Amino acid sequence: MKVADNIRYVSTRGNDDAVSSAQAIIQGLAPDKGLYVPTEIPKLSFKFTSMRGVAYRDIAYKVMRSFFTDFSLEELHKCTAGAYDEKFDTPLIAPIAHTSEAEFLELYHGRTAAFKDMALSILPYLLIAALRKERVDSTIAILTATSGDTGKAALEGFADVTGTEIIVFYPKRGVSEIQRMQMVTQRGKNTHVYGIQGNFDDAQRGVKDIFSDREFEKALAARGYRLSSANSINIGRLVPQVAYYIAAYVRLIENGRIKNGDKINLVVPTGNFGNILAGWYASKMGLPVNKLICASNENNVLTDFINTGVYDANRKFVTTSSPSMDILISSNLERLLWHLSGGDSQEIKTYMKNLERDGKYRLKPDTRAAIDEMFYGGYASTRTVHQTITKLWNEEHYLVDTHTAVGYKVYMDYKIKTGDDTPTLIASTASAYKFADKVAACLGLPKEEDGFAYINAIKKKTGVPIPEGLRRLDKKAVLHNLNVKPADMIRAVDYVLK
């Protein structure tokens, strides 16, 4: 199929100025606090069968050139070649594991052992290319809120990248011990990490408030700085995630799990809605998707939303064993609603205004009908998540982390409820070793003194290799030990960028 000639990007909230993908990547968030969305979703430029035996980086290149039409082919080749190389522990980049009930798309083979590596390995390359293209000579300050995995992946990707500073805020008591140590031991002259006294939603809200502060923006510009983001609010972070669903379909054909044209279900453990939105984009490009199964933990705001059409964040925030999903405000949902509403920015502004004012909003009937057609929402309690980890290991000899277990449990409930036997791909979002204490308990292992002792205990019991990035992590020096209140995040950024 023909690749769209000129994809432009507009704000979900009605800013009339369409920008190039390079400009959208540099800005991160639109000036009106909306998210950048493509004016059209391009169709795949190739047939799935023509990609048999093709390297992951080359499939990713073809997907990204369909969206980032203002980048030259040479620029995109350099970006994908630089991103998807030996920094992953398998040449497949994102291999697929098979169990009796489903296929698991393993997205955690990068340096930080989480799916965020798949996009944050390439975002620095895209950003630097965009800066050159737009002749921007300011230092780019990457401002990021994390629920655990984005922070380390962003720090790893941008560490010592010329012309950038990277500032990460994480909930001090809302990440695993391993996740925290990955961030606070990060080397790099341009890396800055702060724990906040709050949850991820507080961190995310603080980051968005900083982006929308025009006086602060002017002050930073006078110092030679410009803000951008490594969160999935940045379109340069979201589009690379589309590629792995397309590549996975090709691999399923290669492995004989499906035939070309067969529909599949996609199951995605979901917090901020970016990963599942990438699956939806893939479906609109031509990926044969039957159902997008949105899997939540006990912070099940998305489950209720999909089932009722009402987004209601007025509920107790629950700290669970799957902390990267402990989120009540799912930013990327705004993008989906813009597309499903036919690009009605006024509708989106009304939703977001109601969410900010009342903590809730109700979908219009047509938009809700579009959600019902494509999405299924379910959630899993912490208790059943732990039981699922135990069951998968005992019966399938397959080890998963707490987030992937949420996806598997929700899928099994869906299958029982619907009888749907469509081949199903589950996004396996992190190594089990990142949540070693919880996984060890599920395996019946005794208590240990810390998360690192649990890592060794799991390795001894299962034989599953420990990711390179997690080995000897406990021996690294803590380089970042500052904490701030959410209200003081802007002061922290101001201090870093003096």
Supply the pTM of this predicted model: 0.94
Q: For residue 375, list its beta bridge partners.
A: 292
How do strand 225-228 and strand 139-145 relate by DSSP bridges?
A: parallel
Would residue 189 count as lying in a domain? no
Residue 292 in domain: yes
Q: Is 116 a catalytic residue?
A: yes
Residue among 33, 116, 291, 409 flagged as catalytic = 116
CA atoms within 13 A on the CB side of 68: 34
Q: Does residue 219 lie in a domain region?
A: no
DSSP strand E in 146-230: where?
164-171, 191-196, 225-228
Q: How much is the pLDDT for 5? A: 67
Q: Which domain holds residue 347?
A: 96-113+236-466
- Residues 33, 38, 43, CA angle at the centre, nearest 5°? 160
Beta bridge partners of 141: 165, 227
In a domain, 439, yes or no: yes
Query: What CA–CA distance (Å, rounded) separates 447 from 427?
Result: 29
Residue 475's contacts (CB-CB under 8 Å, 6 or more residues apart) are none
Separation of alpha carbons 192 and 165, rounded Å: 8
* Eight-class DSSP state of 147: S
CA-to-CA distance for 298 and 441, rounded, in angstroms?
Answer: 19
Q: Is residue 278 part of a domain?
A: yes
CATH code of the domain in which 264 resides: 3.40.50.1100
**CA–CA separation, 240 and 57 (whole Å):** 10
Nearest C-alpha neighbor of 477 from the set 117, 185, 240: 185
491 is a domain residue: no
Q: Is the sign of the CA dihedral 135, 139, 145, 149 positive or negative?
A: positive
Is 137 domain-assigned?
A: no
- Both ends of the chain: CA-CA distance in Å? 50
CA separation for the pair 31, 379 (Å, rounded):
34
Q: Provide the number of structural domains found in the chain.
A: 1
> In the chain, helix, strand, coil percent, each to 5?
50, 15, 40
Q: How far is CA 306 from CA 309, 311, 424, in A?
A: 6, 8, 20
Domain-located, residue 426: yes
Q: Is the Cβ–Cβ distance between 406 and 391 less than 8 Å?
A: no
Return d(Cα 64, Cα 243) in angstroms, integer.
Answer: 8
Find, among 163, 172, 166, the residue nearest to 198 by Cα.
172
Q: Cα(32)–Cα(295) distance, rounded to whole angstroms? A: 30
CA 41 to chain centre: 19
Q: Which residues of the chain have pLDDT under 50?
A: 1-4
Please, which residues bridge with residue 311 across strands?
Answer: 361
